[in-house]
C-alpha cells in the first residue's frame, strides 16, 4: 500500500535547497534521490540532506520515483522532462518550463503521449 511519494530532485542550483526544505516539511513526501551533472554540488547536497545520488537517468533508476522535481537551469528543463516523462508521470518544474515556442510545442507533444 502506497503511504507516500518518492521524489527525485533533478538539479543542484541554489533554488534546489529551498525545494528540498519545503518538501521535507510535508508528510507523505520523501526525497529519495538527487541527480545533477554538477558532481561536486550534488555530493554536497547529498551529504547535507542525506539523499541518495542517482548517477544516471535510466529506467532502472527512475521507475522507483513517483514525482520528479526539476530545479536545474532553465536551458535543461525540456531535456529532463523528455527523459523523466518516460518513467515518472508527475513532474514539477522550477520556472520557466520552456524558453521558446519550439520547446513549448515539444512539451505539448510529450503531454499528448
DSSP for 46-72, please give it. Answer: HHHHT-PBP----HHHHTT-SEEEE-S
pLDDT tens, residue by residue, 38-96: 999 999 999 999 999 999 999 999 999 999 999 999 899 999 999 999 999 999 998 88
Cis link prior to 54 (omega < 30° from 0)?
A: no
How does residue 1 score in pLDDT terms, banded at 50, 70 and 90? very low
Which 3 state secondary structure label does DSSP give 14? Answer: helix
Q: Is the CB of residue 98 less than 8 Å from the CB of residue 78?
A: yes
pLDDT tens, residue by residue, 34-54: 999 999 999 999 999 999 999
Rounded distance between C-alpha atoms, residue 82 and residue 88, angstroms = 10
pLDDT at 96: 84
Amino acid at each position: 500500500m502506497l503511504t507516500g511519494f518518492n521524489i527525485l530532485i533533478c538539479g543542484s542550483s541554489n533554488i534546489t535547497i529551498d525545494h528540498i526544505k519545503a518538501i521535507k516539511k510535508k508528510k507523505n513526501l520523501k526525497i529519495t534521490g538527487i541527480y545533477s551533472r554538477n558532481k561536486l554540488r550534488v555530493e554536497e547536497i547529498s551529504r547535507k540532506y542525506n539523499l541518495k545520488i542517482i548517477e544516471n537517468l535510466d529506467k532502472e533508476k527512475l521507475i522507483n520515483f513517483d514525482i520528479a522535481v526539476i530545479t536545474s537551469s532553465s536551458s535543461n528543463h525540456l531535456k529532463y522532462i523528455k527523459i523523466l516523462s518516460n518513467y515518472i508521470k508527475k513532474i514539477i518544474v522550477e520556472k520557466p518550463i520552456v524558453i521558446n515556442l519550439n520547446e513549448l510545442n515539444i512539451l505539448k507533444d510529450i503531454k499528448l503521449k
